[in-house]
Chain A
C-alpha cells in the first residue's frame, strides 16, 4: 500500500547556547493511509520532535518529509495536532475554541450556519454537548483534552497527530479517553500518529508501534506490528496471550535493550 506519510533520512540538530545537539539521526518511516502508529521511547529520545516535524512546526536539518505525496513545508490544516496540555485558549468557550479551527478550514466554502453545525457535531462526537458554552477553566482536565481532540477532528484532517494526548490525565480518565479515541478513530478512519510513553496505551490503540532508541542522535530501533483484531476491548485483551506477548516485547525493548540510565 502507498505510504501516506513518509520520513526519509531525517536528521534533526538543535543549536542551543551550549552548542549543537543532535536529536534525531537517520529516521526512516512510512505510514500507510488509515493506519494508527504509535511512537514510543524514553523521555528525551526525540519522539515529540518527530511529531513536530510531521506537523511542520519544525524543519529538519537534513532529509525529507512527505504527506500525501507532497513535501511538508510548514504546518497545514490537513495535519491536525492534539497537544499534551490541551492548548485551549482560556478566553474562548469550548465552542469558540473549536470554531476557530473550523473557520480556518471551511470559511471559504461554507456558511456560518454550516460551520456552527460542524462545531457542534465535533463537540457531540467527544460527548461534550453540555459544555459547549463553558470556558476551559470551568471544565476538568479530561474534558479539556476532549475539546482538543474535537478541535483537531473538526478540521477533518488527513492526518491526526497526538502528542502524548493523555499524559497529563489520571489513570481512570486516561482509560476512558483511550476507549473513546478508539471509537472515534474507527468512525473517522483518519491516519493517526501518536507519541506516548505508556506501553499499554501503545499496544491497545496502535496498528504498529515505532520504538525509538535513546537520544542523543535517536533513531528508529524496532517496529512492532500489532495484529490484534478490532474492535479491541480492554478487559478481554488483559487476558489475551497475544496482547501480553506484544506488551512484553515493547517492555523488553525499553527496559532491556535500550534501558535508560537512571538520571
Chain B
C-alpha cells in the first residue's frame, strides 16, 4: 500500500503513514519530527546542542524527502496527462474547485445537492452500520468456528463458496428483501465485510499456542476464564487484522454501492458529478475517499498496536 497521500487544502503538504498526527502538524514543519528524535544528553554544552539540533533537522528532512518526491512525481504525471487528455482538469483547477467545495461543506439544497461534509458523513454512516453488524455477527462466529472442529468443517464450504462473490452481486438480493436502497447498500457492506472477520478470528483461535492451552488445562481453568484470560487476548491481534481488512473492503465497496443505490454519499456524488461532467469534483472525491480510507486504516493500526504484547 502507498505510504503517502495528499491533503486537499495544500497539495504540496505531506503526511506520513507512520504517524497520522503529522497530517495535522504538517503546517509547522519545524516542530520536532515524530520519527527520529535525538536528545542532547549534555545540555550545558551549547556546541553539542546546536550540533544535535542540526542533526535533528537533517534527519527530519531525510525522513520527509522521499514521500515529498513521490507526491511531486504524482502531480507532475497528472499535469502532463491533463495537457494531453482533453477534459481532464489539472492540479491547479482541481485545487481551486476544492477550495470552493470545502469552503461550505455542510450546505443542503435538497436530497440531491448537499455539501461534501454530508456526503462523507453519510458514506461513513453506511459503512459504520454495515461493518458494525458484520462485526457483531462475524466475530462471535469466528470464535465458534475456531473453537469447534465440527462447526469449522460445517462452515468451510459456505465460506469458500460465498466469499469470492463480488459484493455488488448481493445488491439485487438486498433490494428485493429490504425494498429500499439504503438498507440494501448497508447489506452489501455487511456481506462483504463479514468474511475477513470470520476467517481471521477463526484462524486466531486455531492458532492459540498449545502452551497457553496447556496452562489452562494444568490450572483447570473454567471455560469463562479460558475465554477472558487466554483465548480473547490471544486472538485479539488476529481479530484486529480481520477488522482492518473488513473496514478496507467496506470502504472500497461503499462508493460502488452508492453509485447504484443513490442517496447522499460519496459514491452518489461521484456519479452525479459525472452526469454534470464536473470532472474536478470527481477527482476531489477520489482524493477524499483515499484520505478517509487511510485515516480509518491508521486509526485501526493504532488500536491494534495497543494490543500487541510481544
Contact = CB atoms under 8 A, between A and B. Distances in A.
A137 B218 contact: no
A137 B233 CA distance: 15
Interface in A116-166: 135, 137, 155
B229 A92 contact: yes
A5 B211 CA distance: 25
A83 B309 contact: no
A89 B218 contact: no
A137 to B, nearest CB: 6
Interface string B210-244: 01101101111100010001100100000000000
B229 A57 contact: no
Interface string B254-296: 0000000000000000000000000000000000000000000
A87 B233 contact: no
Contact of A137 (B212, B214, B310): B310
B217 A87 contact: no
B214 A57 contact: yes
A65 interface: no
A55 B221 CA distance: 15
Interface string A67-100: 0000000111101110101010111100000001
Contacts of B220: 75-77, 104
B310 A75 contact: no
B193 to A, nearest CB: 27
Contact of A101 (B211, B212, B219): B219
Nearest to B309: A90
Interface size grouping (class) on chain A: 20 to 34
A55 B219 CA distance: 11
B211 A100 contact: no
Contacts of B233: 89, 91
Interface residues of B, number: 15
A137 B309 CA distance: 8
Given A85-B211, A87-B211, A87-B214, A135 B219 contact: no
Q: Which of B211, B230, B233 is the most central at the interface, judged by chain A CB atoms within 10 Å of its CB?
A: B211
Contacts of A55: 218
B214 A83 contact: yes
Nearest to A101: B219
A15 to B, nearest CB: 16
B196 to A, nearest CB: 23
B56 to A, nearest CB: 29
A100 B219 contact: yes
Contacts of B214: 57, 81, 83, 87
Contacts of A89: 212, 215, 229-230, 233
A90 B310 CA distance: 7
A92 B234 CA distance: 11
A155 B221 CA distance: 13
A143 B64 CA distance: 42
Contacts of A79: 218
Interface in B137-156: none
Nearest to A52: B214
Contacts of B310: 90, 137
Nearest to A104: B219
Contacts of A87: 211-212, 214-215
B223 to A, nearest CB: 13
A223 B212 CA distance: 33
A135 B309 contact: yes
Contacts of B219: 75, 77, 100-101, 104, 155
A90 B57 CA distance: 38
Given A87-B212, A89-B229, A75 B309 contact: no
Nearest to B307: A91
Given A75-B220, A77-B219, A104-B220, A91 B212 contact: no
B127 to A, nearest CB: 30
Given A77-B219, A77-B220, A91 B309 contact: yes
Interface of A: 55, 57, 74-77, 79-81, 83, 85, 87, 89-92, 100-101, 104, 135, 137, 155
21 contacts: A55-B218, A57-B217, A57-B218, A74-B217, A75-B217, A75-B218, A75-B220, A81-B214, A87-B211, A87-B214, A87-B215, A89-B212, A89-B215, A89-B233, A90-B309, A92-B229, A100-B221, A100-B225, A104-B219, A104-B220, A137-B309
Nearest 9 A/B pairs, CB to CB: A90-B309, A91-B233, A87-B211, A81-B218, A91-B309, A75-B217, A75-B218, A104-B219, A87-B215
